[in-house]
Amino acid sequence: MKPNQMRTLGVILSAVLLMLTVACGSSGSKKQEPAGESTPASTTETKTEEGDAVSEPKIVLGFAQVGAESGWRTANTKSIQDSAKEAGIELKFSDAQQKQENQIKAIRSFIQQKVDVIAFSPVVESGWDTVLKEAKDAGIPVILTDRSVDTADTSLYQSFIGSDFVEEGRSAGKWLVDTFKDATEQVNIVELEGTTGSAPANDRKAGFNEIIVQNPNLKVIASQTGDFTRAKGKEVMQSFLKAHKDIDVLYAHNDDMALGAIQAIEAAGLVPGKDIIIISVDGVHDGFVAASEGKINFIVECNPLLGPQLMQAVRDIYEGKEVPKRIVTKEGVFTSEDAKRELPNRQY
Ligand code: GYE
């Protein structure tokens, strides 16, 4: 039999089996439950030792992404899509456009579709208990990626894979304390915060503040959200520049806001990286370019390539293996000099 005839036969056999399963009213094991939605697209064709083609059910992962607000997010989405493909996992992907209500809707729809595993990067920290309980009651395991949730009941998720944002804030603060260790006058800092209520905004602020108190000259004179976007970063920096004539340092919770702010600083006739020292977090390509040009003085890396670790955890959970409750991503820090050297090696 030719391979395509074989495939057709496989599909027909699957359909017959499916009808039988439905007719018998079998609810069976977890893998049989979503049978009503099984299509040839959700099976992987493998060959037995004799060379016969057999269809295996594919793991179905529902992923509710935050949005497409930054270069970091674009790299993160690509990593998840590429690794799902590589791992042979069927990905149902939803983009919440930075809105919690959209993420909740997406998670509810994944529950209805009876996906095998749900993963998401919560746009804000609080307000997840109800929908997570719905997933738990439906027997669908949940993995948090990138950002965590604020809940007293940690049984609502299996694992959290992502960076330590408090540590990132501390790294930014340490570099600043060191850079201004000989300052004799007040150093005026403005802060562009990430999305209000999000874990990286809360934690990067907290970690930074925890460290800069070591030097009483370091003072945050203004702090406002730029929602992790370039456009907002530019807009808020413009208003900072209007309100304060003596800004020494900008601390931006991500590269995109720093890049927007750089446009505002240049438009005001100032030199980014010299007249105003700039620190940001992420280390995406455009941030690295700005750092290698001396416009950003210090970048704390936050690795967006979480896809491979996520797919591994999805598979492990599906197969009933134990996964660590917390998986921390490894990352570094870069000065302008480091950025110049490292730029050709960056993957995103
Ligand atoms: O730093 C920012 C993105 O959650 C770590 O979200 C992520 C942050 C990242 O929009 O650029």
The full length of the chain comes to 348
CA distances from 67 to 71, 75, 132, 311 (A): 11, 12, 20, 20
In the chain, the amino acid numbered 116 is D
Close Cβ partners of 322 (under 8 Å, ≥ 6 residues apart): 316
Task: Look at residue 129 in the predicted model and tell me its pLDDT.
Answer: 98
Which ligand 1 atom sits nearest the alpha carbon of residue 147?
4
Characterize 31-58 residue by residue with b for buried, 16 or more Cβ atoms within 10 angstroms of its Cβ, and e for exposed: eeeebeebeeeebeeeeeeeeeeebebb
Q: Determine how many CB atoms are found less than 10 A away from the CB of residue 122.
A: 28
Ligand 1 mean position, distance from CA 146 (Å):
8
Q: What is the pLDDT of residues 78-99, one digit of tens each?
A: 999 999 999 999 999 999 999 9
For ligand 1, say whether the CB of 282 is within 6 Å of any of its atoms: yes
What pLDDT shows up at residue 330? 77
Ligand 1 and 230: CB distance under 6 A:
no
- Percentage of the chain surpassing pLDDT 90? 80
CB distance 146 to ligand 1 below 6 Å: yes
Atom of ligand 1 nearest to the CA of 67: 10
Give pLDDT, residue 332.
Answer: 79
User: In the predicted model, is pLDDT for residue 40 greater than 50?
Assistant: no
Task: Name the packing angle between helices 307-318 and 71-87 (round to 10°).
Answer: 40
Q: Are 246 and 197 in contact (CB under 8 A)?
A: no
- Per-residue confidence band for 57, with pLDDT thresholds at 50, 70 and 90: confident
Beta-carbon contacts of residue 332 (< 8 Å; ≥ 6 apart): 301
pLDDT digits (tens, 9 = 90+) for 172-219: 999 999 999 999 999 999 999 999 999 999 999 999 999 999 999 999
Q: How far apart are alpha carbons 82 and 74 in whole angstroms?
A: 12
What pTM did the predictor assign? 0.84
Rounded to an integer, the average pLDDT of 227-254 is 98
For residue 199, the ligand 1 atom closest to its alpha carbon is 4
Q: How does pLDDT run across 121-180, given as a tens digit for each residue?
A: 999 999 999 999 999 999 999 999 999 999 999 999 999 999 999 999 999 999 999 999
pLDDT tens digit string along 290-338?
999 999 999 999 999 999 999 999 999 999 999 999 999 877 789 999 9
Instruction: State which of 302, 303, 305, 331 you would mutate to test the pocket of ligand 1, scoring each by most atoms of that ligand within 8 A of its C-beta.
Output: 302
Pocket test for ligand 1, best of 73, 78, 331 (most atoms within 8 A of CB): 73
Which of the listed residues 65, 70, 259 should we mutate to test ligand 1's pocket, taking the one with most ligand atoms within 8 A of CB?
Answer: 70
CA distance 259 to 282: 12
The finding on whether 280 has its CB within 6 A of some atom of ligand 1 is no
Long-range contacts at 105-110 (CB < 8 A, ≥ 24 apart): 106/62, 106/64, 107/62, 107/64, 107/131, 107/134, 107/135, 108/134, 109/62, 110/62, 110/64, 110/135, 110/140
Radius of gyration over every alpha carbon of the chain, rounded to an integer in angstroms: 24
Crossing angle for the helix pair 230-243 and 255-267, to the nearest 10 degrees: 50
Q: What does the pLDDT read at residue 8? A: 42
Ligand 1 pocket check for 90: Cβ under 6 Å: no
CA distance 81 to 68: 14
Calpha distance 285→14 (Å, rounded): 46
Minimum mean pLDDT range among 43-52, 70-79, 237-246, 287-296: 43-52
Within a 10 A sphere around the Cβ of 25, how many other Cβ atoms?
7
- Calculate the CA 88 to chain-centre distance: 21
Per cent of the chain over pLDDT 70 is 84
In this prediction, residue 53 has a pLDDT band, given cuts at 50, 70 and 90, of low
Mean pLDDT to the nearest integer, 92-120: 98
* Mean pLDDT over the full length of the chain: 88
**9 has a pLDDT exceeding 60:** no
| Distance of CA 195 from the midpoint of ligand 1 (Å) | 9
Instruction: Round to whole Å and give the CA distance between 84 and 67.
Output: 18
